Amino acid sequence: MNTAGHGAAVRIEACGKTFADGTRALDPATLDIARGETLVLLGPSGCGKTTMLRIIAGLELPDAGGKVLFDGKDMTSVPIERRNVGMVFQSYALFPNMTVADNIAYGLKVRGVARSERTARVAELVTLTNITGLENRRIDQLSGGQRQRVALARAVAIRPGILLLDEPLTALDAALRDRLRSELNRLLRALGITTIYVTHDQAEAMELGDRIVVMRKGAIAQIGTPREVYFAPKDRFVAEFIGAANIVEAPIQNGVLLLPGGRLPIDGGATIANATVMIRPETIRVTETGAGAGVLSGIVDSVSFIGDRQRIVVSGASGKPLNVDAPNTIQAKAGDRIGLSIAPDALRVLPSEP
Ligand SMILES: Nc1ncnc2c1ncn2[C@@H]1O[C@H](COP(=O)(O)OP(=O)(O)OP(=O)(O)O)[C@@H](O)[C@H]1O
């Protein structure tokens, strides 16, 4: 089966959603998703991710004025069964009494695909999703991870132009979730289907997304590659939602950030009376104290060993405790005075918020 690169391009145009009870789930949003791209909708519970996905699927109509286009064609009032989309939800929605093979082949059978081709496609998908040997088991004889693999195989069996995934890994335990996440990544790349993936888990979003749409309260807060939203968040909400962030407030004078523990050169020569600056914990380096300009001095509050690194909390450096992720080889203990250096481009000025 030629599975490579047959996705559709998706455009949602001014799609908002107000439910019958008056709940505004989504502000009008416009978004383009390229053919073959994996776009992740990321945000806290209730921010409108699922609503956006359901509008793309055809399970929900956008408010008047909104449009959904697949490859330029207006699909807004086309029902889900004629949109050629594959869907996988958090709960599996498989047929519990049918075998794995019959579940995977279900959509093909409904579409009248001949038995020999069904068998061939099931065989291929079973290999691709790592469930070889389970073909004749019933769904209720499978583990959660195996069920989710079957759900994926079933969703892509019909060769959809668009794959819609709503928190497909959330119900699984942490170790399995990590493993399936990498498998899913490989599978999505191999299939080349346009994929829209809903999650509230930033690690999942980072690993799987070509681009991430960060959502907040029914609105798009930022769209960008994982690197862009991580290193150049548009505002404090995005900075804190994507990974750990130190947010410090301090004046910048002629391109130097003035902190209680020292002065740090910062990219851009601006002067800002009260700047909000983001610093990722892993961009802070522990150095000798008093090593000169560009070094902050502080006192170690606590050290937590995390295995591959350690989290050192330092007070006195920035006006509030600073989280530092340091290599696990560095010796530091509570009460020690330490120096911290931060590269100018690791200090990120965020817009001030009221
Ligand atoms: N049928 C409905 N009627 C009224 N309000 C709804 C309906 N469906 C969703 N909502 C509300 O719309 C908002 C957005 O819901 P949505 O399910 O899109 O959020 P989400 O980001 O997917 O959240 P979660 O991660 O919790 O699933 C929420 O406030 C929700 O309560």
- Whose CA is closest to atom 30 on ligand 1? 46
State the burial class of residue 133 (Cβ atoms within 10 Å of its Cβ: 0-12, 13-18, 19+): exposed
In 248-345, which residue ranges form alpha helices assigned H by DSSP? none
Q: Which pLDDT does position 3 carry in this prediction?
A: 40
Instruction: Kindly report the backbone phi and psi dihedral angles of residue 28, in degrees, each rounded to the nearest multiple of 5, phi listed first.
Output: -55, 125
CA distances from 93 to 74, 130, 183 (A): 29, 20, 21
Residue in this structure with the two tokens 């509008």, named with its chain if needed? 55
Atom of ligand 1 nearest to the CA of 24: 12
Write out the two tokens for 150: 């079957």
- Whose CA is closest to atom 28 on ligand 1? 46
Question: In whole angstroms, what is the distance from residue 133 CA to residue 105 CA?
Answer: 16
Probe residue for ligand 1, chosen from 26, 27, 47 as the CB with the greatest number of ligand atoms within 8 Å: 47
Annotate 139-160 with b (16+ C-beta within 10 A) or e (fewer). beebeebbbbbbbbbbbbbbbb
Atom of ligand 1 nearest to the CA of 50: 22
Residue in this structure with the two tokens 């599978």, named with its chain if needed? 187
Question: In whole angstroms, what is the distance from residue 8 CA to residue 14 CA?
Answer: 19
42 CA from centroid of ligand 1 (Å): 14
Instruction: Kindly report the backbone phi and psi dihedral angles of residue 227, in degrees, each rounded to the nearest multiple of 5, phi listed first.
Output: -65, -40
243 CA from centroid of ligand 1 (Å): 24
Q: Which pLDDT does position 194 carry in this prediction?
A: 95
Nearest Cα residue to 250 out of 234, 227, 272: 272
CB atoms within 10 A of CB 25: 21
Instruction: Give CATH for domain 245-350.
Output: 2.40.50.100
Three-class DSSP category at 229 = helix
Instruction: Say if 10-238 and 245-350 have the same CATH topology.
Output: no
Q: Residue 49: CB within 6 Å of ligand 1?
A: yes
Instruction: Give CATH for domain 10-238.
Output: 3.40.50.300
Q: Walk across the sheet containing 256-259 and list its strands.
A: 262-265, 256-259, 246-253, 272-279, 348-350
Q: Residue 50: CB within 6 Å of ligand 1?
A: yes
Question: Do the Cβ atoms of 26 and 217 come closer than 8 Å?
Answer: no
218 CA from centroid of ligand 1 (Å): 9
Residuewise pLDDT in 10s, the chain (354 residues): 334 456 899 999 999 999 999 999 999 999 999 999 999 999 999 999 999 999 999 999 999 999 999 999 999 999 998 999 999 887 768 898 899 999 999 999 998 999 999 999 999 999 888 889 999 999 989 988 889 889 989 998 988 999 999 998 887 788 888 888 888 888 888 888 999 999 999 999 999 999 999 999 999 999 999 999 999 999 999 999 998 999 999 999 999 999 999 999 998 778 999 999 999 999 999 987 765 667 899 999 999 999 999 999 999 989 899 999 999 999 999 999 999 999 999 999 998 776
pTM listed for this prediction: 0.89
Question: In whole angstroms, what is the distance from residue 16 CA to residue 55 CA?
Answer: 9
Q: Which pLDDT does position 291 carry in this prediction?
A: 54
Q: Which pLDDT does position 91 carry in this prediction?
A: 72
Instruction: Mention every residue, 6+ apart, whose C-beta is less than 8 A from residue 130.
Output: 149, 183
Question: Do the Cβ atoms of 311 and 303 come closer than 8 Å?
Answer: yes
Q: Residue 199: CB within 6 Å of ligand 1?
A: no
Write out the two tokens for 271: 């002067």
Q: Residue 77: CB within 6 Å of ligand 1?
A: no
Q: Where are the domains of the chain?
A: 10-238, 245-350
